[in-house]
Amino acid sequence: MTGALFLAAFLGLPLVGAAPILSRRWSWLPFGGAIASAAAVGAAVLCAEMLVLTIVDVRWTLWLLLVPPAVGIALALRHGPMPRARTESRVEVRMTPVSIGLLAVACVAVATVAYAALTARVTSSDLLLFWGAKGEHFGLTGRIDAEFLGRPDHGYLHSDYPPLWPCLYAFATMLAGRFAWGASLGTLPFFLGLATVVVWSFGRRRLGSLEAAAFAASFAGLFGFLLSDGLTAGNADPPLLFLETLALCLLVFAREESGAFLLAGIALAAAAWLKLEGIAFGWAVIAAAGFTMRPFSVRRLTWLAAPPLIAYGTWIAFCRAHGLLSTLGTHTWVLTGERFRSIASGMLRVASMGSSYRPWLLVALLFVLRRPGRASAFPIVVAAFIAAFDAGFYLSAASDPTRWIEMAGERTLVTPLLALLLAALAPRGATASAERRGDEGSSRP
User: How confident is the model at residue 343, as a pLDDT?
Assistant: 80
Answer yes or no: is 280 within a domain. Answer: yes
- Compute, in degrees rounded to 10, the torsion defined by CA atoms 274, 193, 181, 58: 40
Which stretch of 163-172, 200-209, 424-433 has the lowest confidence by average pLDDT?
424-433
| CA-based nearest residue to 98, from 192, 221, 217 | 217
Give the mean pLDDT of the chain.
89
**How many whole angstroms separate alpha carbon 315 and alpha carbon 318?**
5
User: How confident is the model at residue 338, as a pLDDT?
Assistant: 73
- Residue 220 to residues 96, 103, 169, 223, 282: CA-CA distances in angstroms? 20, 10, 24, 6, 23
**How many whole angstroms separate alpha carbon 214 and alpha carbon 98?**
9
Higher pLDDT, 153 or 299: 299
What's the domain range around 55? 2-84+95-443
Q: How does DSSP classify residue 90?
A: S
Answer yes or no: is 201 within a domain. Answer: yes
User: How confident is the model at residue 306, as a pLDDT?
Assistant: 97
- Residue 260 to residues 27, 192, 369: CA-CA distances in angstroms? 11, 22, 29
Confidence check: pLDDT of 432 > 60: no
As beta bridge partners, residue 123 has: 233
Neighbour tally for 285: CB within 10 Å: 29
User: How confident is the model at residue 175, as a pLDDT?
Assistant: 96
Answer yes or no: is 190 within a domain. Answer: yes
- List CB contacts of 346: < 8 A, sequence separation 6 or more: 394, 401, 402, 405, 406, 409
- Whether the CB-CB separation of 35 and 5 falls below 8 Å is answered with no
- List CB contacts of 283: < 8 A, sequence separation 6 or more: 385, 389
Answer yes or no: is 326 within a domain. Answer: yes
- Residue 380 to residues 377, 384, 386, 419: CA-CA distances in angstroms? 5, 6, 10, 6
Q: pLDDT digits over 305-361, tens only?
A: 999 999 999 999 999 999 988 776 555 656 667 777 878 888 888 888 888 899 999
User: How confident is the model at residue 173, as a pLDDT?
Assistant: 97
- List CB contacts of 285: < 8 A, sequence separation 6 or more: 247, 248, 251, 264, 268, 304, 382
State the SS3 of 198-246.
HHHHHHHHHHCHHHHHHHHHHHHHHHHHHHHHCCCECCCHHHHHHHHHH
**How many whole angstroms separate alpha carbon 195 and alpha carbon 190?**
9
Answer yes or no: is 89 within a domain. Answer: no
Q: How many domains does the chain have?
A: 1
Which stretch of 174-183, 319-328, 410-419 has the lowest confidence by average pLDDT?
319-328
Answer yes or no: is 108 within a domain. Answer: yes
Q: What is the mean pLDDT of residues 111-140?
A: 95
As beta bridge partners, residue 228 has: none
Answer yes or no: is 90 within a domain. Answer: no
- Which pTM was predicted? 0.93
Which amino acid would we find at residue 197?
A: V
Q: What is the mean pLDDT of residues 76-94?
A: 61
- Whether the CB-CB separation of 131 and 234 falls below 8 Å is answered with yes
Q: What percent of the chain has pLDDT over 90?
A: 68
